[in-house]
A and B are shown apart, each in its own frame.
Chain A
Amino acid sequence: MAKKTYDLLFKLLLIGDSGVGKTCILFRFSDNHFTTTFISTIGIDFKIKTVELRGKKIKLQIWDTAGQERFHTITTSYYRGAMGIMLVYDITNEKTFDDIVKWLRNIDEHANEDVEKMILGNKCDMEEKRVVSKERGEAIAREHSIRFMETSAKANINIDRAFSELAEAILDKTSGREADADHARIAVERRPSRAPPTRACCT
């Protein structure tokens, strides 16, 4: 059996409609590479990447799911164990954005109550095809008190940042649990009250 080479293990899940670029985001993050030649994900796929945060080695175990309705019974079984979930839509496709609400409902039904969430508007390099403004993305994130970022797996925009922010949020919770109850509450509340990240993307 392999030796334990990390301090913490975080389980993350990528969900969202078919074709929004979940697999490409994960591939960019894990292999720092982009390709359009991806076959569609059937069922569930899996990648591992170890990152270092605040001096701790964190192993991210990331599950990539199939987007189509048919696979939901297969994929929702992964929600329970997930500590962080990324909801991805495609800024050039209105329906994928509208469906974010549906995906959020799925999380409510199947995931742990305290799971960390983040919404990603992917393909933000395709400005000329954009149909969902960044403001609308920010608005829905604010409404649900969730972090938000626009990303591009192709142009490598915000991909690493998205994963480390999500991992950091989980880390906050984890260390919060280790500390006493008061601290835990503060740790949990601190982040959601913060405004969504505003670093410019795709301008």
Chain B
Amino acid sequence: MSLQKARIQVFDEALGKDVIDLEYLRELAFQGIPDANGLRPLVWRILLLYLPLEKNLWKSTLQQKRQHYRNYIEEIIVSPGGPSDHPLNVSPDSSWSAYFKDNEVLLQIDKDVRRLCPDISFFQLATEFPCPEIAYSNGVKRLHRRVQQSVLRFSTLERRGLGVAKLSNEIRRKDTHAGDYAPLREGREAHWEVVERMLFLYAKLNPGQGYVQGMNEIIGPIYHTFACDPNIEYRRYAEADCFFCFTNLMAEIRDFYIRTLDESSSGINNVMVKLSECLKKNDPMIWNLLEVQELRPQYYSFRWLTLLLSQEFSLPDLERIWDTLFADAKRFDFLICICCAMMYLIRHEILHGDFASNVKLLQNFPPMDVSLILNKALDISKKQNRVNFTVCTLDPTRPCLVGCTRTGATHSRRVAGNSATS
């Protein structure tokens, strides 16, 4: 049996239980989820606590959640009930003013979803499962319609003597800059339109947070993974399932996105400080050099951490990294170890670079075998925790050697070796 097949089997067995052992599944996923049989999207649904551990609840949970999502679309987008007062009402709780505020959010989302993962064509392609109420609405229910820029046509009426008038200066304006992320024809929807809808619903349902740039980079890879599921039944509901998984994930990292929490313990500044401390401990030489060069962590790590590295790696590599991140029970401590490992692995270049070349290098992380990074991150993590931080091997039949509380699994210190090739 090939290694890949063996891994698939181990996952199948873990998922075959009536009640899934989350801790065990985390250990498995930490080493990477095989890119086969729709395992990744399914396991992500469990790791992100969307699917319950009791499998007999899956059907009803999915039904219920997907119905909720349909209701959101209906209530918020399809028939929200028009504003009840007039557009010039200056009262802050005027329904028109709310409508205009929504459009500001939508405008920002619209700009960002049209520049999501431009290196792959996926988001510009049509989804197999458009939302019929929106796709067949003569365009009027399409969100981007609400914020589409249009220029009024005008012409000047010239009077030339009695009864002679001439229209002139007519300026013809047409939309010539739709670009690649153009909306599709009636009845079809592009994947970026689906992402736009999810982000708008999220902003509406989480008004305290709204939409912040970068959220598109978090939801994009999840949606891509779900929408490419080989299982058509899961693929059909990729949008609804992705919406809730994204919501759950954001619940854990949303403080990174809130400006007023920047200085709080869960805010982004503190996470950047943690990374800096981790680097100081594990590679004082680079840490020191960057200090001397006054190369501040926020120049590079703000983006790394806020986006969970989604702009630093290609999609397949990122999916592999997210397997590990989502499997990290102490989310997202391991993220810091990964970032630290990334820096360690280019330490030679950093040590020979000046300020400018080092900023460039860190902002454009060179392509690298992801398993190398994850292995190094695991080393760092073990040192950091000063405990036996271990990962199960593939063989669940042999006894545990390193004191894991879970019975029936061997542990090894290897990580990622098998999955990076999958």
> Bound state CA distance, A66 and B258, in angstroms?
15
Q: A179: CB under 8 A from chain B?
A: no
If the complex has contacts A68-B108, A70-B257, are A128 and B173 also in contact, measured as CB distance less than 8 A? yes
Chain B residue contacts of A131, Cβ below 8 A: 149, 151
Instruction: From A40, A44, A69, A126, give the contact of B111 (CB < 8 A).
Output: A40
Give the docked Cα–Cα distance between A1 and B355 (Å): 9
Say whether B118 faces chain A, with CB atoms less than 8 Å apart. Answer: yes
Q: Would you give the 0/1 interface string for B268-308, flagging 1 where the beta carbon is closer than 8 Å to chain A?
A: 00000000000000000000000000000011001100110
B138 contacts the other chain (CB 8 A): no
Within 8 A of B (CB), among A1-50: 1-2, 18-19, 36-40, 42-48
Q: Which residue of B lies closest to A66 (CB)?
A: B213
Asked if A122 is at the interface (CB within 8 A of a chain B CB), the reply is: no
Is A129 positioned at the interface, with any CB of B under 8 Å from its CB?
yes
Q: Flag if B302 contacts A74 (CB, 8 Å).
A: yes
| B357 nearest in chain A by CB position | A2
B311 at interface, CB cutoff 8 A: yes
Inter-chain contact A70/B115, CB cutoff 8 Å? no
CB closest residue in chain A, given B119: A37
Quick check: is A72 within 8 A (CB to CB) of the other chain?
yes
A140 to B115, CA, bound (A): 31
Contact B299 A38 (CB under 8 A): no
Q: Which partner residue on chain B sits nearest A77 by CB separation? A: B298
Residue among B117, B180, B303, B307 with most chain A CB within 10 A: B303
Among A40, A46, A69, which residue has its beta carbon within 8 angstroms of that of B115?
A: A40
Whether A39 contacts B111 by the Cβ 8 Å rule is no
In the complex, what residues of A have CB within 8 A of residue B259's CB?
Answer: 69-70, 72-73
Q: Are B151 and A129 in contact (CB under 8 A)?
A: yes
Instruction: Check A36–B179 contact: CB distance below 8 A.
Output: yes
Q: Which residues of B contact A38 (CB under 8 A)?
A: 115, 118
Do residues A46 and B311 form an inter-chain contact, with CB atoms below 8 A?
no
B25 adjacent to chain A (CB < 8 Å): no
Q: Tell me the dominant secondary structure on chain A's binding face.
A: loop
Contact (Cβ within 8 A) B356 A73:
no
B315 to chain A, nearest CB (A): 13
In this complex, the member of A19, A66, A69, A126 whose beta carbon has the largest number of chain B beta carbons within 10 angstroms is A19
- The answer, yes or no, to whether A92 is at the interface (CB within 8 Å) is yes
Specify which chain B residues have a CB less than 8 angstroms from the CB of A1 in the assembled complex: 354
Closest B residue by C-beta to A48: B356
Q: A73-B259, A74-B298 are in contact. Are A39 and B115 (CB under 8 A)?
A: yes
Instruction: Name the B residues within 8 Å of A43 (CB-CB).
Output: 298-299, 302-303, 306
B360 engages A37 (CB within 8 Å): no
CA distance A73 to B212 in the complex (A): 14
Distance, CA A66 to CA B298, complexed state (A): 13
Pick from B174, B213, B298: contact of A18, CB below 8 A.
B213
In the assembled complex, the CB of B297 is this many whole angstroms from the nearest CB of chain A, namely 11
CA distance A39 to B314 in the complex (A): 13
| A46-B108 in contact (CB<8A) | no
* Those of A45-104 within 8 Å (CB) of chain B: 45-48, 61, 66-74, 77, 92-93
- Within B112-146, the residues touching A (CB, 8 Å) are 112, 115-119
- Is B311 within 8 A of A39, CB to CB? yes
A42, A68, A69, A72: the one within 8 Å of B217 (CB): A42
> How many angstroms from the CA of A48 to the CA of B175 in the assembled complex?
35
Q: How distant is the Cα of A66 from the Cα of B111 in the complex, in angstroms?
A: 13
- By a CB distance below 8 angstroms, the chain A residues around B176 are 128
Which residues does chain A contribute within 8 Å of B171, judged by CB atoms? 128
Q: Does B216 contact A (CB under 8 A)?
A: yes
A2 to B119, CA, bound (A): 33
Q: Mark A114-140, 1 if CB is under 8 A from B, else 0.
A: 000000000000101101000000000
Tell me which residues across on chain B come within 8 A of A47, comparing CB atoms.
360
Please name all residues of chain A whose beta carbon is closer than 8 Å to the beta carbon of B59 when the two chains form the complex. Answer: none
By the criterion CB–CB under 8 Å, are A128 and B118 in contact? no
- Minimum CB–CB distance from A19 to chain B (whole Å) comes to 4
How far does the alpha carbon of A18 sit from the alpha carbon of B307 in the complex, in Å?
Answer: 18
B204-228 interface mask toward A, CB cutoff 8 Å, 1 = contact, 0 = none? Answer: 0000000011101100000000000
**Interface residues in chain B, defined as those with a beta carbon under 8 Å from any beta carbon in chain A:** 108, 111-112, 115-119, 149, 151, 171-177, 179-180, 212-214, 216-217, 257-259, 262, 298-299, 302-303, 306-307, 311, 353-354, 356-357, 359-360, 363
Q: Closest 7 CB pairs between A and B? A: A37-B118, A43-B302, A19-B111, A2-B354, A42-B303, A68-B213, A43-B303
Residues of A within 8 A of B (CB): 1-2, 18-19, 36-40, 42-48, 61, 66-74, 77, 92-93, 126, 128-129, 131
13 more contacts with CB within 8 A, not counting A39-B115, A129-B173, are: A1-B354, A19-B111, A36-B118, A36-B179, A37-B115, A40-B112, A42-B217, A66-B213, A70-B212, A70-B259, A72-B259, A128-B171, A129-B175
